[in-house]
Amino acid sequence: MKYRRILFSILAVILLASAAGCSSSQNEEHKASAKARLITEDEKVYVGFILDTLQDERWYRDKELFETQVKELGAEVKTLAANGSTEVQISQAELLIAEGVDVLAVVPYDAEAAAEIVELAHKADVKVVSYDRLIKNADVDYYVSFDNEKVGELQASEIVKKKSKGKFAYIGGAETDNNAVLFRKGAMKVLQPLIDKGDIELVYDQYTEKWDPAVAERNMKKALKKEGNKITAVVAANDGTAGGVIKALSASGLAGTVPVSGQDAELEGVRRVYKEIQSMTVYKPIVTLAKNAAEVAVKAGRNENIATETSVHNGKADVPSILLEPIAVTKDNIQDTVVKDGYLDKKDITGE
């Protein structure tokens, strides 16, 4: 660990100096700041946390909770966010590896492309933990997430409770995100039998580039136009896409009459659930996710034994995994879930 950091501290300066778009004066500033940020305690585990984005509310929570837990465990952490760019995310991994991290926790933007991060890390004897989203086709060391097929099952099940027949639309997440694929897979476990019976017609089925609510809104408008506004229900993959869907429904005078699912229990999503504009969301206790992932990352950095009860095949390897239970949130159980856990404040939800 000690010698690797000495070598990588030199590489970090070189990497930063060659970063695209930097002037020579900027390069000198980057070199100085890189030296200041390197971990000097030889035996202290250094964790790199690479996020896809910080443009969504929930990832700020993950960042804060994960960093706090890592530090409480006696390790150090540095977080970088790629904001929806594969190239930036790979460059950030290279930088953190060069700075001497012992382990990377990665929320991949592109599940397939992130395999390069694993390859780079392993060449430097750095372990990789897939955080929330699984990196595909790579020898990932550990995966910590929720049961994402179960998320999709919960979404579809709650919608089917509202409407069990008619024309359904599926507005997914980003196809580059393996979780979005799993959400749809879980939802189809519920919907397909009803489709086969002829009770449900899936008239629109589209992923949403970069999970962008504006893209979801455009997709929903296309679905409404295609069907002459005759859409019975919508399974939307998260609260952001649900927000876009509901904007499109509002423009057609249908908001609140067409059931719409969500996920992540974001404040705006839960507010819509409370107002009965959105039918449900899925609460994935991020405190639990961040705590488990931080513990795995720090133990991995210390080369300690890590107990896992299951594994998930990612196309190349059976990845040792910890899968946590998601919770469906409707207006009836807001108090007993997100409010009771202190995740959201009741006054913020109700406005009272």
Helix (H) or strand (E) run with residue 75 in it: none
The C-alpha atoms of residue 120 and residue 114 are separated, in whole angstroms, by 10
Q: How confident is the model at residue 38 (pLDDT cuts 50, 70, 90)?
A: low
Classify 129 as helix, strand or coil.
strand
* C-alpha 130: how far from chain center: 10
User: How does the average pLDDT of the chain come out, rounded?
Assistant: 90
Band the pLDDT of 28: cuts 50, 70, 90.
Answer: very low
Scan for tokens 């020579």, then name that residue.
24
**CB-based burial, 293-327: b 16+ in 10 Å, e otherwise:** bbbbbbbbbbeeeeeeeeebebeeeebbbbbbebb
Q: What is the pLDDT of residue 214?
A: 98
| Largest CA-CA distance found in the chain, in angstroms, rounded | 67
Which residues are within 8 A (CB) of 221 and not within 5 positions of it... i.e. 6 or more apart? 248, 251
Walk me through the domains of the chain, giving residue ranges and CATH numbers. 2-140+286-324 (3.40.50.2300), 148-284+328-350 (3.40.50.2300)
Measured CA to CA, the distance from residue 3 to residue 297 in angstroms comes to 21
User: Per-residue pLDDT tens for 42-91?
Assistant: 689 999 999 999 988 789 999 999 999 999 999 999 999 999 999 999 99
Please write the tens of the pLDDT for every residue from 180-216.
999 999 999 999 999 999 999 999 999 999 999 999 9
| Both structure tokens of 124 | 């430097």
Q: How long a stretch of residues is the chain?
A: 352
CB 253 within 8 A of CB 222: no
In this structure, are residues 213 and 243 in contact, taking their beta carbons and an 8 Å threshold?
yes
| Strand-pair partners of 49 | 79, 105
Q: Is the pLDDT of residue 12 over 70?
A: no
User: Which residues contact residue 274 at a Cβ distance below 8 angstroms, ignoring those fewer than 6 apart?
Assistant: 331, 334, 349, 350
